[in-house]
Amino acid sequence: MKKIITVLVIALAFSGTGNAQDAMKKDKMMKDTKTSIVSLEQTEGVFTQQSITLKEGSYIFEISNNNVGHNVGFVLAPKSNPDAHIKTAYVTKQVENNTKGKTNVTTLAKGEYIYFCPLNPTPKYTLIVE
């Protein structure tokens, strides 16, 4: 009986080590991936940046609510399908007046996108990824 328990403990220890190693590899990969911040400002009814050109890669969008007077948001979608919102590009919570908010990391491939705020509301602006 003791041998069976010892073997089970050793097997569990090795399986736990593999998971820990996998987690460390995944963490290292995330650190190796460069994520850039794109800062955008909303004023009443508009984004002050009315077009953006980026390279393929991973981005966090930082949205400033510059005295709009109410909460704002952020929507990013492919230009070819404006209803297909990229959910990682939503702000993590509505951005209150005179504060900043951020999106999750969003990986963008080459192409044309649109961005806008449905809460402000703003026109739809162009984001190009080269």
Mind listing the pLDDT tens digit for each residue in 93-122? Answer: 999 999 999 999 999 999 999 999 999 999
Q: Rounded to two decimals, what is the model's pTM?
A: 0.75
Q: Is the predicted pLDDT of residue 90 greater than 60, yes or no?
A: yes
Sequence ranges of the domains in the chain: 1-32, 35-129
Query: What's the whole-number mean pLDDT along residues 38-45?
Result: 97
Rounded Cα–Cα distance for residues 108 and 35 (Å): 11
Q: Is the predicted pLDDT of residue 28 greater than 90, yes or no?
A: no
Q: Is the predicted pLDDT of residue 12 greater than 90, yes or no?
A: no
Which residues, 6+ apart, have CB-to-CB distance to 9 below 8 Å? none
Average pLDDT, the chain: 84
Rounded Cα–Cα distance for residues 117 and 112 (Å): 17
Residue 36 is predicted with a pLDDT of 97
Helix (H, G, I), strand (E, B), or coil: what is residue 94? Answer: coil
Greatest Cα pair distance, the chain, in angstroms, is 74
Rounded Cα–Cα distance for residues 67 and 55 (Å): 30
CATH superfamily of 35-129: Cupredoxins -  blue copper proteins (2.60.40.420)
